[in-house]
A = this chain, B = another copy of it.
Amino acid sequence: MALELRDEVATGSEPAVTQPSAPLRALTGDTAYAGDPAGAAGSARAGEPVVKIRGYGRRFGDRVVLEGVDLDLADGEVAALLGASGSGKSTLLRALCGIDHGADGHVTVPKERAVVFQDHRLLPWKKVWRNVLIGVKGSKADALAALQEVGIAGRADAWPGTLSGGESQRVALARAFIRRPRLLLLDEPFGALDALTRLRMHGLLRELCARHNPATLLVTHDVDEAITLADRILVISDGRISLDHRVGDDASARSGTAALALRARLLSELGVNPNHRPHQNHEKR
């Protein structure tokens, strides 16, 4: 079915170096927000999932990274995505962004999306505040407000090349937070932040979710972060979603023993001995 057809197209179209170049492929692909009312997609009916993934798979050459992934995300749902390094989290996110043209299966997403890439992807030739405004209509004041929220309004006029790792990450966050997405895709968005800033960003994310109620997919390596922020926790391993846990809706599910139990379960799913707590059993040297 669909899978076979994609395969054919995927192998038939893009032969290595000669053809279509990066910019070319991007341009001849579709454009987010571009408005294609007569396009292949429809409108959401209330209650339907906003993200539908069916039989999704991705292989690079012989290597199968993901296979047969089915997933629905509902409006307003915050899902955390955990998984070993190289398990395919970013690959899945790229597909949801609509920038992966070599995947199999069928994926539908809302047109209004916002993304924080794992590698930030700031345009080096645009000052920080202009980077925040890429693709949205807004004034410098809007950009400054967004930068203020992530705590780097002071660097608004800097070139991205001069930012520290955490600063770039926060610009990428501001860039996502200034939008009103129906789908928010965050690829390890807090990885380069210190504890304090990270907590602030957690707060901001919650606020944004409360305001616009987007479906959110948050890739993180921090199990605690997943438990604090997510309604639903997904673990990828061996190319599939091996665990799909819904966190209870009340606060108790995120604290105390319930949280500790969940933490242990997630860690064991990730291959870590859950009894292995930090600052315990290593004797140094």
User: What residues on B are CB-neighbors of A279 within 8 Å?
Assistant: 224, 227-228, 254-256, 259-260, 263
Q: Are the C-beta atoms of A188 and B192 separated by less than 8 Å?
A: yes
CB distance from A17 to the nearest CB of B (A): 13
> Could you say which residues of chain B place their CB within 8 Å of the CB of A86?
152, 155, 163-164, 166-167
Are B164 and A228 neighbours in the complex by a CB distance under 8 Å?
no
Residue numbers in B under 8 Å from A188 (CB-CB): 165, 192
Q: Report the separation of the CA atoms of residues A89 and B165 in the bound assembly, to the nearest whole angstrom.
A: 10
Q: Which of A90, A194, A281 has the most CB of B within 10 A?
A: A194
- Residues of A188-243 contacting chain B, CB below 8 A: 188, 191-199, 202, 206, 209-210, 221, 223-225, 227-228, 231
| Residue among B164, B206, B255, B272 making CB contact with A90, cutoff 8 Å | B164
CB-CB under 8 A for A165 and B224, given A270-B195, A282-B206 = no
Pair B90/A165 contact, Cβ less than 8 Å: yes
Q: Is the CB of A206 within 8 A of B285?
A: yes
Residues on A facing B (Cβ under 8 Å): 60, 82-86, 89-91, 118-119, 152, 155, 162-167, 169-170, 188, 191-199, 202, 206, 209-210, 221, 223-225, 227-228, 231, 249, 251, 254-256, 259-260, 263, 267, 270-272, 276, 278-285
Q: Provide a sorted-by-A list of 20 A–B residue pairs whose CB atoms are within 8 angstroms.
A: A60-B162, A83-B194, A84-B166, A84-B197, A85-B164, A85-B165, A85-B169, A85-B170, A119-B165, A165-B188, A192-B221, A195-B267, A202-B282, A225-B278, A227-B278, A227-B279, A228-B278, A254-B280, A255-B279, A256-B279
